[in-house]
Amino acid sequence: MKTILLVDDEYSIVEVLTQLLEEEGYSVASAANGQEALELASASVPDLVITDQMMPIMSGSELFLALEKRPSLAKVPVILITSAPMAAPRDLRWADFIVKPFEFDELARVIHRVLRDTKPRATRAT
């Protein structure tokens, strides 16, 4: 089971996305800011990080740069989600970039593409 580290200071977003991602078959760890996420990722390397840009203590961009400096975390793909796309640096090598508000199906497709998984359950034919 692949692990996703979800980083957002809005508890309601973390709660909803965690539930939806777990339904997709992922293990989810969460952090309320970049510093907390860096500590969690250092203790247990995730398969993917999904982070908000604007957070207290350490922004999504600062987290991305901190991950890149650590050899064990440098290759972990990072998806940025933000409500302020103009404020987010696009020169970083994000795995992808999603603007809030977004549909979960959009996020699921991006995750599956980045992780090279099979089609998301939400879009599978039954």
pTM exceeds 0.85: yes
Q: Is residue 17 in some structural domain?
A: no
* Residue 114 and residue 80 in contact, taking contact as beta carbons nearer than 8 Å: no
What pLDDT shows up at residue 88?
63
Q: Is residue 3 in some structural domain?
A: no
The candidate with the shortest Cα–Cα distance to 100, out of 4, 5, 16, 41, is 16
- Bridge pairing between strands 78-82 and 48-52: parallel
Q: Is residue 13 in some structural domain?
A: no
Q: Is residue 6 in some structural domain?
A: no
Grouping H, G, I as helix, E, B as strand and the rest as coil, residue 7 is strand
Q: Is residue 116 in some structural domain?
A: yes
* Residue 85 and residue 97 in contact, taking contact as beta carbons nearer than 8 Å: yes
Count of CA atoms in the C-beta half-sphere (13 A) of 116: 1
Is pLDDT larger for residue 1 or for residue 41? 41
The candidate with the shortest Cα–Cα distance to 104, out of 33, 35, 6, is 6
Q: Is residue 68 in some structural domain?
A: yes
pLDDT in tens, 72-126: 999 999 999 988 766 666 677 889 989 988 999 999 999 999 998 755 454 433 3
Grouping H, G, I as helix, E, B as strand and the rest as coil, residue 15 is helix
For the cut 90, the answer to whether the pLDDT of residue 71 exceeds it is yes
Query: What is the extent of the structural domain holding 78?
Result: 24-121
Q: Is residue 4 in some structural domain?
A: no
d(CA 43, CA 16): 24
**Structural domain total, the chain:** 1
Lowest mean pLDDT among 17-21, 40-44, 73-77, 113-117: 113-117
The candidate with the shortest Cα–Cα distance to 80, out of 65, 95, 69, is 95
DSSP state of 111: H
Q: Is residue 8 in some structural domain?
A: no
Is pLDDT larger for residue 123 or for residue 8? 8
Domain CATH for 102: 3.40.50.2300
* Residue 11 and residue 36 in contact, taking contact as beta carbons nearer than 8 Å: no
Tell me the mean pLDDT in the region 38-65: 95
